[in-house]
């Protein structure tokens, strides 16, 4: 009896520690920990009304930058659509008030209709936040401490794309890494780009540790993820049109393996599910497909999905179930092991540029008109709710400390946690 009581007490305490850790999880980069878009929080509702928001913050300017969170601070990028002036923002997670704002002049230049001058999602660690933006002559990569003091600033050179800048950095150990994949200019009067590359810098000093030159093909916006390979070593898994799905040593930038599986642009981030690496590719004109690669020294394609496949939105998973949320609002649940369809449902709406995330047993995704759709993350289709945010949205939600944060063009919403459960 005494032994049973001790074991039960340990289970309760350990379970409580895990629940507390899940609730307090930091959201440090695009789509959270390792870019999976996953949280096990249990305090985010599946449907709500306007009176249920913890707060709604009005942001200066507009943008598609998704929020990142460290403890009680939220960081994101915004911009003046008329002058291209950038606003690096820090908000208080308790009330949505701006803690500090740093403004930088900009240069107006061509953007895709779905882009903005603030499409980079920052990344953050315990001491600094890192953010980037560009114009045709400069690519600025900056670090600020949590009090808003600029710690270092790099100009990575010219950057060219018909869509506009949207690369987001990520952190690995003491490095901060960003891809600068660009394309040959198709605009009159705009010079050809000098290079396409990936760069890793010391996050404390901004000094370059390594740089990998890449094929200039078409601008890719994918954010890398970390995989532990067959030897037990970490490798940085990336996606681009020119290189395909490929992995590099995060300490040196040396290529471990590559599989040139894409014929069109890559925007979504690689996902590691059921021992496979998933990437998406496509174009505004269609022809989108998902490819699943079995990684290793000699990678091979496990299968492809070509019908109702996403192009921009990154898939999300729960166990072996993977949810493909297409740009046109068709959601397909597949068995990631073999690609077989579990269910498919047309959600409708005006299309999707943001990516879905999973919070425990629910999936959250906002369409371009600002309609938040919540589905069940299971093997049967279930609609939990649709909530109209009443403003355009091309961002991806974030979760931290049991709360969901949603960025529309000019507002940031907080829902869930103690006051939202």
Give the end-to-end CA distance of the chain in Å, rounded to a whole number: 37
The structural domains of the chain, with segments of one domain joined by +, span: 24-416
What gap in Å lies between CA 257 and CA 111, rounded to an integer?
34
Structure tokens at 167: 């690369």
What gap in Å lies between CA 65 and CA 86, rounded to an integer?
11
What gap in Å lies between CA 326 and CA 288, rounded to an integer?
9
Residue 54 has pLDDT above 50, yes or no: yes
Residue 7 has pLDDT above 50, yes or no: no
Convert the pLDDT of each residue in 154-168 to its tens digit: 999 877 766 777 789
Q: For residue 336, what is the DSSP state?
A: T
Q: For residue 51, what is the DSSP state?
A: G
What gap in Å lies between CA 111 and CA 418, rounded to an integer?
40
What gap in Å lies between CA 148 and CA 203, rounded to an integer?
16
Identify the CATH number of the domain defined by range 24-416. 2.130.10.10
pLDDT score recorded for residue 8 = 40
Convert the pLDDT of each residue in 217-262 to its tens digit: 777 888 999 999 999 999 999 999 888 999 999 999 999 999 999 9
pLDDT score recorded for residue 168 = 94
Q: What are phi and psi of 50, to 5 degrees?
A: -60, -30
Bigger pLDDT: 191 vs 351: 351
- Which percentage of the chain shows pLDDT scores above 90? 74
Residue 420 has pLDDT above 60, yes or no: no
pLDDT score recorded for residue 185 = 55
Backbone CA torsion sign across 244, 247, 248, 254: negative
Least confident of 136-150, 178-192, 217-231, 402-416: 178-192
The closest alpha carbon to 321, from 402, 382, 386, 247, belongs to 382
Which residues, other chains included, contact 52 with Cβ-Cβ below 8 Å and sequence gap of 6+?
45, 415, 420
Residue 295 has pLDDT above 70, yes or no: yes
Which residues, other chains included, contact 316 with Cβ-Cβ below 8 Å and sequence gap of 6+?
36, 37, 38, 271, 322, 323, 325, 355, 356, 357, 358, 363, 377
Residue 409 · residue 393 · CB < 8 Å: yes
Q: What are phi and psi of 78, to 5 degrees?
A: -140, 170
The position carrying tokens 């900009």 is 106
Structure tokens at 320: 């072996």
Convert the pLDDT of each residue in 76-126 to its tens digit: 999 999 999 999 999 999 999 999 999 999 888 777 777 788 999 999 999
What gap in Å lies between CA 86 and CA 79, rounded to an integer?
4
């Amino acid at each position: 009896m005494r032994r049973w009581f001790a074991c039960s007490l340990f289970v309760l305490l350990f379970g409580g520690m895990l629940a507390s850790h899940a609730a307090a999880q930091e959201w440090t980069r695009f789509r959270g920990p390792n870019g999976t878009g996953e949280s096990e929080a249990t305090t985010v509702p599946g449907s709500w009304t306007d009176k249920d928001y913890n707060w709604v913050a009005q942001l200066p300017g507009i943008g598609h930058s998704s929020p990142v969170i460290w403890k009680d601070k939220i960081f994101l990028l915004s911009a003046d659509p008329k002058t291209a002036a950038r606003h690096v923002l820090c908000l208080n997670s308790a009330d949505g008030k701006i803690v500090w704002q740093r403004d930088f002049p900009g240069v107006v230049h061509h953007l895709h209709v779905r882009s903005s001058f603030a499409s980079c999602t920052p990344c953050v660690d315990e001491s600094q936040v890192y953010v980037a933006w560009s114009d045709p002559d400069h690519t600025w990569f900056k670090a600020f401490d949590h009090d808003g003091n600029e710690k270092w600033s790099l100009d990575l050179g010219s950057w060219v794309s018909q869509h506009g800048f949207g690369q987001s950095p990520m952190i690995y150990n003491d490095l901060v890494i960003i891809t600068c994949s660009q394309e040959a200019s198709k605009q009159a009067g705009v010079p050809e780009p000098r290079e396409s590359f990936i760069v890793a810098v010391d996050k404390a000093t901004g000094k370059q540790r390594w740089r990998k030159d890449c094929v200039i093909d078409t601008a890719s916006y994918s954010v890398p993820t970390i995989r532990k390979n067959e030897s037990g070593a970490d490798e940085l898994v990336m996606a681009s049109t020119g290189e395909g799905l490929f992995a590099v040593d995060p300490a040196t930038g040396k290529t471990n393996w590559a599989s040139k599986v894409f014929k069109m642009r890559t925007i979504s981030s690689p996902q590691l599910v059921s021992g496979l690496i998933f990437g998406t590719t496509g174009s505004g004109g269609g022809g989108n497909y998902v490819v699943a690669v079995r990684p290793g020294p000699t990678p091979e394609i496990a299968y492809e999905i070509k019908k109702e496949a996403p192009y921009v939105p990154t898939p999300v998973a729960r166990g072996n179930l993977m949810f493909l949320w297409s740009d046109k609002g068709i959601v397909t649940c597949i068995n990631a092991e073999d690609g077989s369809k579990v269910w498919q449902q047309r959600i409708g709406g005006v299309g999707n540029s943001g990516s879905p995330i999973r919070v425990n047993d629910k999936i959250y995704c906002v369409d371009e008109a600002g309609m938040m759709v919540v589905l069940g993350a299971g093997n049967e289709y279930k609609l939990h709710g649709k909530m109209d945010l009443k403003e355009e949205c091309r961002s991806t939600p974030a979760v931290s400390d049991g709360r969901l944060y949603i960025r529309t063009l000019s507002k940031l919403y907080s829902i869930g946690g103690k006051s939202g459960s």
